[in-house]
Amino acid sequence: MKDTRFAKQVLFVNSLVPLTLLLWDVYRHRVGANPLEVVTHTTGMLTLVFLSLTLAVTPARKLLGANWLIKFRRMLGLFAFFHGFLHLTTYVWFDRFFNFKSAVKDVAARTFLAVGMAAFFMMIPLAFTSTNKMVKRLGGKRWNLLHKLVYLSGGLGALHYWMLVKSDTRLPLTFAFVIALLLGFRLFVKYYGDRRAPAGSIVPPS
């Protein structure tokens, strides 16, 4: 497989660009009258974007016959988790001021928050089992099965977004459509065969 070390470094630096720009804007007070809204919006959006990119790796690998793309999947997934964590932290910190009791009450009272929370919780085992060591420990089959949760997490993330927008639902529906398409591709390959990779071939995440 190709040596992707340099490409990985480029991806890592580029993945940090949106967050850096956001922090810079916050620091320079260039985020308008409601910084909380801007930070919540940006971190939520980045979570969905990275989740979708993670899900796009396998279809792209299969369609292009570019197996080396798999080497970027773990990093993209971890960036999704990282931005999701920042999104949740923004809420707990600046919306609830670390009052965990009030956060739990609020999440229980507003369905879109509970859906977001479920999406985030599903990312936790995925992040913690993303290492090669954990792939070995769980065994490829079980690891692959567990990591199917990423589709559910992405779907719930899009649903959470759709539930909270008041009028223009085009963007959340686009995310939902993209995630459904990527899942559809995987199911198609599973049931109608994949001529490029032998059935059951397990590709480690790094």
**Distance between CA atoms of residues 81 and 88, nearest Å:** 10
Q: Does 157 bind ligand HEM (CB under 6 A)?
A: yes
Kindly state the tokens that stand for 30. 């260039």
Judge residue 61's burial from the number of C-beta atoms within 10 Å of its C-beta, 0-12 exposed, 13-18 middle, 19 or more buried.
buried
- DSSP state, 110? -
**Distance between CA atoms of residues 85 and 91, nearest Å:** 10
Q: Does 126 bind ligand HEM (CB under 6 A)?
A: no
Of 75 and 113, nearer to ligand HEM (C-beta) is 113
Q: Which of 120, 150, 151, 205 binds ligand HEM (CB under 6 A)?
A: 120
The amino acid at 113: L
SS3 for 128? helix
Hey, which residues between 74 and 113 contact ligand HEM (CB under 6 A)? Answer: 84, 87-88, 91, 95, 107, 113
Q: Does 45 bind ligand HEM (CB under 6 A)?
A: yes
Q: Does 151 bind ligand HEM (CB under 6 A)?
A: no
Kindly state the tokens that stand for 5. 């070390």
**Helices (H) then strands (E): counts for the chain:** 10, 0
Of 56 and 113, nearer to ligand HEM (C-beta) is 113
**Segment interacting with ligand HEM, rule: CB under 6 A, options 18-26, 27-35, 52-60, 153-161:** 153-161
Q: Does 153 bind ligand HEM (CB under 6 A)?
A: yes
Question: Which residues of this protein are in contact with ligand HEM, per CB under 6 A?
Answer: 40-41, 44-45, 47-48, 84, 87-88, 91, 95, 107, 113, 116-117, 119-120, 153, 157, 160-161, 164
